[in-house]
Every structure is written in structure tokens, then in C-alpha cells.
Structure 1
Amino acid sequence: MKPNKYVLILLATITAYVLVEYYRPKPLDWTPTYENDDKIPFGTKVLYELLPDVMQQANVSTVRLPVYNFLTETKPAVRSNYVFICRDFNADGNDLKQLRAYANRGNNVFISAYSFPDSLGSVLGFKADVKEPNKADTTLRQNLVNPKVAKSGGYNFFHDDGRNFLTITNSQRTTVLGRNARKEPVFIRVQYGKGYFFIHNLPLAFTNYYVLSPRTSDYTFKALSYLPALPTYWDEYQKQGRFDEEQQSIFRYIWSQPALNWAYYLVVFGLLFYAIFAGKRTQRIIPVVEPPRNTSLDFVKTVGRLYFQQGDHDNLARKRIQYFLSDLREQYSLNTTVLDKEFTETLAQKSGTSLTETEELVRLLRDAQKSISLSEYDLLTLNAAIERFKHQTV
């Protein structure tokens, strides 16, 4: 039987793609995952492997369960530490209730994240705040308060925009352990019953890049030195969910690997195309005449609504910037590689807008490009500025 040429083409395409993806140089991934098995700059593999020595324990236990399940279904050590390093600390009411009871019994909870549940902050007497985008400062220094562990000149975590800080709303049980150069707290200890909550607002400090950097490596271990040498539990549920590598299904593994993920989609779409072309060869073609319709605007609205509903504000904001700069290049023949003073003045002249408003728009674009992550507020502010500029140039 003669092989079908469409099947051969599909197999050849998939094989070529997998080989190219496998052998091509991999670009450095700067995604902040905070996962303990990631070797990328913003994973936490290095800290996780060093933590047993820091805690003076034979090993550190990884937790792949929600806080509620772990503390109710298992039996943690009589006295222990529970460590969370993540971008956003997400916990519901049941989780927080068990976590407070855990600390109340004389245990320690260490959380380093940019955002925290409001309910946790109201109980412990703090609030995680963030400054406006125009207050971003990647040169902002951080330091520990205790002069015995403080570093002369402080520490600079320049991949962080310096906008996050903690506001203390109840200082009775709170001790400030770390501040930034603006004297704002970024690391506090809150006594809760017989135990303590350690709240830290700069998780990037615990990633591979800064743990291995000679200029910042000691900050990580000084911060963790406030925890007593006890059995320690490291949470990965907040970042990777319930399933570890041994529990991964075939499809979970495929979706976790970019090359295999795309190969999977190529197979699916290839089979669909094959069915379409094979059907044309065996069935009578029935023409369908539909009135012309411009679906570009509907598509853009649908994609934008999808990103916004899913809360992917960072991705949507960056695409908004990308398409806006593309419009500027096409309409005004401008080079948008460097958004400097010359670019601003040229844009103001060609578009007919005032120099002041143009400078404000360009500043927002620069700040957004430098930011590690853009919030909903950043997206709305940026979009309003772009729409205002477009309205003035109509």
C-alpha cells in the first residue's frame, strides 16, 4: 500500500520541529517561577538545596498540598517552620485558620510574597502596599535592621522595581526586621500565640540569581537566620500544585515541555487539516457563499476580553505597548527602539500633541517596559494614556 503523502508531510514536519527545538540554543528564561526544581535565574533550586544546612536538618520536606490539607491530614513535627516563597500568597479562609492555629502552637510561618490576603493582614496588623508606576526605582537599596546583620550600603535587587512595601497597622506584636532606603518596612516579625509569622515583601531576594550573586547572597541566609533550627516544610503547592514528577501524567509532562507542547498542537491541527483535505477528495464540494465580514475588530475585542477576564494584565499591557509602538513606526516613520528625549520631541512634532502630554505618555511606556510585572492599575493607566494620545491626533 502506497503511503499517503499528507501523512508523510505531517510526520516530517513534526520531526523537524522537535529536532530544531531540541538542538537550538535555549534563550535565558527570566520568568519568576520561584519553583524549587527550576535552575533559571528566578527559580529557587539553589536555596532549596542549601536550606537543610541553614536549618541544621537532614532534609527539608516539600509540601504539595493546600495548607488546610497538610496541617489537618498530616502530622507536622511538634515544633517546626513552614516556608512559603512565591509571587502571590493565595490562601482561603480555611487555610489561614489552620495556619494561624499552627503558629499559635509555637511554630513559625515564613512567607515571602508580593501580595497577601487582606484577611491575613487584618489579623496580623499589616498591609502589603505598592506605589504608583512613576515611583518605580530599580536602584532602591534594602537592608536588615539589626546592626549585627546589616550590611554597609545595603543590598540592591535591581530586577525588582522597588514599589512594594509593608504598612504596619498594629505595632503591638510587630518587630520590623528589614527596611528599604525609604525607611519603609519590607520584612517584619509578628508574634502570634506561642509562635511567629515572618512576613517578607521581596521574594526575588530568595531566587537563584540573588542567592548565587556575591553581592546579595548573604541577605538570604541572614533573613532566614531568624527562623530557629527546627524541622522545616517548604511549600510548592502555591507554585506547582499537587502533583510532583512521579505523579505527572503523560499529558501533564507534554504540556510542561514547550517543544513537546507545540508538537502536540501540530499533531492535532495536522490531523484536522488532513481530514479536511481528505474529505475534499472523497466528497462533493458544496459551495457556501457568505457575505464579506471584517472580523479583525471582533477578534481583537475577544482576545482582549479573554486576557482581561483571566487577569493576565501583564501580558495584555505588553501587547498593548507592542501594537501602539508598531502604529507609531508605521504612521510617523519613527524608530521606537530607544524611547529617549529625541524620540519624545520628534513624536510631539509629528503628531501635533503638546510636548508635556507626549513626555508623560513616553514615561509611562518606559516604566512599563522596565517593570517585571504590570498590574490591572498599570494596564488601565497605560491604556487611558494611549487612547488620549490617539484621540488628540485624529
Structure 2
Amino acid sequence: MDKRSRIALYAIGAIIVLMMIAEVSKPKALNWRDSYTATDKIPLGSYVLFNELKTISNKPISVSTKTVFESLKDFDTNKKTVSIFINNGISFDKQDTETLLKYVENGNSVFISTNYMYGNLSDTLNIRIGSDYNNFFKKPSLNGFISPGLKPNQRTFKDVIENSFFISIDTLNAVALGTTKVEKTETITKDTFPDTNINFIKVPFGNKNGAFYMHTNPFAFSNYHMLNGNDVYAATVLSFLPKHEIIWDNYYKSGRKVITSPLRFVLQSKALKWAFYITLVSLILFVIFKGKRTQRIIPVVEPLKNATLDFTKTIGDLYYQHGDFTNIINNKIQYFLEQIRSKYYLNTNELSENFISKLAIKSSNKKEDTKALIDYIVFLKSKNTHTETDLIQLNKLIETFTKNNI
């Protein structure tokens, strides 16, 4: 690589590194998503409020991550609590509504702050929440209280606000506690909404001092406003609640983390979740230890070919095809005698009667069979030419001798 190419390559690498550093170090975009969960520190989370409640409340605070029906169906009726629901929109089904009404009827209280509410509960309490989208939906609004003594605690929300209010309440039961006021900059024909509207009410329910506290400005409890001087307003709203143990809802939230895995049903059950994890870990351990204990498959290795044996067979076949029986018989006799010398340590120079007796004893053969073989070998060695019959007879005698020896 020449010098010019090397410089170009270094320049490209430096540019890539700088781009990576710029990408990593650049500030993250601010997340303005509605959340209202106790753990979210984004502007519209409720981390600040939840932790302030823990510091100022002398009662324990529990967090509910289940539906109203699941968390309150078996609640202790002798224990008085306050359940807090804060979210941009809230809706309860029939089963949850019946559980919530029974809960309040037993002397407990429920605080709900939301911009939108629909379903069975709003129908039962005979309330409706709306907004004037033509005039002051997101304009600065003054949120205050009905009581003159609380006027110092009212606050103006200049931004990050959706001005909702009650457009219909049960005037026989509901008690107005707070209002929201927006200055209209234009006069619109047939405008039916006044400048000041009710945004905080109390609806007593049952005969045991239970009540619903309904509020239409959940933004007041977000991190953004709690850290921008409007925390006094939020504290004043919550001061209307009874001083009971608090149940913080973390289920009916826009920012609630939902398990999207196909194993959602398993992971939502504590027993099934632990069973799944234990099974998974057991399978991993089984694979690890089983893999170590099981020997690898040993490949079949073909034995090395005996080239000498192949060569001998080839030579033998060649002799046999050419009818050279004499050469075959001589080689066979020499091979047989060599085996006797190496195996039984006998001298084969003289094939005498003494030799035959020793060979019969050492090889565990009958003396008659041994004598027949040796005598035949002597006979063949005395001949100059041999026939195929001679070779066959010699082979039979050697095989019989070999089968019986040790």
C-alpha cells in the first residue's frame, strides 16, 4: 500500500471514530410520553410524587400491579385505605367497577385524577368529563380551590397541560372542591362553556364515610410540574384525602410495562414463572454435564492392510494358475516347519521318531496324526514333481494338525 492510500485509509477511520463518538455523546431526545408510573423519571412520570408520598406519609404505601378486581376482591374490610389512580385516561370494566364500589362502600376512599374517564364507574357516579377544544384545551389555566382559605395554594399551569373539567356531575351527591379557569382570548358564537369550570369533586358513597375524589388534571402530579413550582397545588389536592394507608396504582398507567412475550401467561404467574426458570436452568445444566460425561463417537478406523499377506496371496494365486504345485508345496512345507521352530522350539533338521513324539506332545495332537503329517512331508520332499492332489492332501493334514494344537 502506497503512502497516499494509507493516509486516505487513516482519514476514513478517523471520520468513522468521530461519528461514533458524536452519536454516543449527543444528548438523548426528551421523552414526553404519558407514563404516570412510580418508577419513570421522564417529564410525565410520577417518580417525584411517589417518593414524596413515602417521605411525608406516616402510613405504609403499597403498590398495586394488578387490576382492581385482582387486588381488592379479598381486601380486609376492617382496614381503611386510600387507593390512588393517576393517568391520562382511565376506564374500569363492570367487574372492576363492582369491586371498587364495594371497596368504597366499606369505608375506603378512591382518588382518581384523569383527563378522560368512561365506562361503568362514570355512569354509576353520574359524572362526565370533557374539554373545550375550540378555546382553551391547552392554554394556560389557573387551578384553584373552592375554599377561600386555600387561595394561596392555587397555581397557574402555563404549559404541558390539557384543560379538562366536569361537564356533568350529580349535584345531589357531589361536592365541588376545586376549579380550573382559562382566560378566553376570542369570543366564539354559541360558546356553551364558561371560563371557570369544576375540576375537583368529592362523591360520598355508602354509609361508612367512603368517598370518590375525582380530579381532571393528572398533569399536576407529573415530574414536570412537581419540579417547576406547582408541587404545592398537588399537595393541597391530596390533603383532602383521609389519612389512611395508601395503595398506589401502577397498573392503570399509559407507561405500564407489559410483557409481550408469547410466555406472557407463564411469566405473569409467580408459580409458573419459577417453574419455567427452574426447568430452563435444569435443561442447561443437563446439557452441560451430559455433554461432558458422554464420550464422543469414535470414528471407525480401517486397519492397515497387510501388504505382505496380499503379496503372498497374489504369488500363491500366480503359482496355482500356472500349475507350479511343486513350488507351492515347498513354500508351504517351509512355512509349516518355521512355525514349529518358533512356536515349539524344536529342531526340524531331522524329522525322526523322537521329533514326532516331542511335536505330538507339545501340540496336543495324536502321535498317529502327527506321524502321518511328518511322513507325508518327508515323502513330498523326496519327489521332484508334484501334482494338485499332493497339494490338497498336504493342506488337509496341516489344517487337521493346526486345529488340534495348542
Question: Normalising by the residue count of structure 2, what TM-score does the alignment of the two structures yield?
Answer: 0.52
CA distance, structure 2, for counterparts of residue 248 and residue 137 of structure 1: 34
Q: Does 1:49 align with 2:63?
A: no
* Cα drift, residue 180 of structure 1: 1.2
Q: Which residue of the partner structure matches residue 170 of structure 1?
A: 170
Q: Which residue of the partner structure matches residue 224 of structure 1?
A: 238
- Residue identity opposite 1:220 in structure 2: A
Question: Secondary structure of 2:45's match?
Answer: coil
Picking from 242, 247, 253, the partner of 1:239 is 253
Q: Which residue of the partner structure matches residue 29 of structure 2?
A: 27
CA 1:54–1:110 in 2, change beyond 3 Å: closer, same or farther? farther
Asked if the contact 2:155–2:233 (Cα under 8 Å) also holds between the matched residues in 1, the reply is: no
* Cα drift, residue 133 of structure 1: 3.6
Asked if the contact 1:55–1:230 (Cα under 8 Å) also holds between the matched residues in 2, the reply is: no
CA 1:19–1:103 in 2, change beyond 3 Å: closer, same or farther? farther
* Cα drift, residue 119 of structure 1: 2.6
Question: Secondary structure of 1:101's match?
Answer: helix
CA distance, structure 1, for counterparts of residue 44 and residue 236 of structure 2: 19
Question: Secondary structure of 2:166's match?
Answer: strand
Asked if the contact 2:37–2:256 (Cα under 8 Å) also holds between the matched residues in 1, the reply is: no
State the Cα deviation string for residues 56-94 of structure 1 (Å, max 9, x = none).
22x411100000111115547710000001011121010
- Residue identity opposite 2:113 in structure 1: S
Asked if the contact 2:32–2:42 (Cα under 8 Å) also holds between the matched residues in 1, the reply is: yes
Larger C-alpha radius of gyration, 1 or 2? 2
CA distance, structure 2, for counterparts of residue 249 and residue 19 of structure 1: 34
- Structure 1 moving runs of 4+ over 4 Å: 16-23, 73-77, 240-244, 247-252
CA distance, structure 2, for counterparts of residue 19 and residue 38 of structure 1: 28
Question: Secondary structure of 2:237's match?
Answer: helix
Question: Secondary structure of 1:150's match?
Answer: helix
CA distance, structure 1, for counterparts of residue 110 and residue 19 of structure 2: 46
Asked if the contact 2:114–2:216 (Cα under 8 Å) also holds between the matched residues in 1, the reply is: yes
CA distance, structure 2, for counterparts of residue 176 and residue 230 of structure 1: 22
State the Cα deviation string for residues 108-136 of structure 1 (Å, max 9, x = none).
10000111124322221311012234443
Picking from 220, 224, 227, the partner of 1:205 is 220
Unmatched runs of 5 consecutive residues or more in structure 1 = 1-15, 253-394
* Cα drift, residue 137 of structure 1: 4.7
Q: Does 1:101 align with 2:114?
A: no
Question: Secondary structure of 2:92's match?
Answer: coil
- Residue identity opposite 1:168 in structure 2: S
Asked if the contact 2:165–2:198 (Cα under 8 Å) also holds between the matched residues in 1, the reply is: yes
CA 1:106–1:73 in 2, change beyond 3 Å: closer, same or farther? closer
Asked if the contact 2:44–2:222 (Cα under 8 Å) also holds between the matched residues in 1, the reply is: yes
* Cα drift, residue 42 of structure 1: 1.0
CA distance, structure 2, for counterparts of residue 232 and residue 93 of structure 1: 24
How many residues matched?
233
CA distance, structure 2, for counterparts of residue 19 and residue 91 of structure 1: 48
**1:1-394 superposed matches below 5 A:** 23-57=25-59, 59-73=60-74, 75=76, 78-151=79-152, 154-162=155-163, 164-181=164-181, 182-193=195-206, 194-214=209-229, 216-239=230-253
CA distance, structure 2, for counterparts of residue 249 and residue 192 of structure 1: 41
Asked if the contact 1:144–1:151 (Cα under 8 Å) also holds between the matched residues in 2, the reply is: no
The Cα RMSD (Å) is: 3.2
CA distance, structure 2, for counterparts of residue 127 and residue 17 of structure 1: 53
CA distance, structure 2, for counterparts of residue 77 and residue 43 of structure 1: 33
% identical equivalent positions: 27
- Residue identity opposite 2:31 in structure 1: D
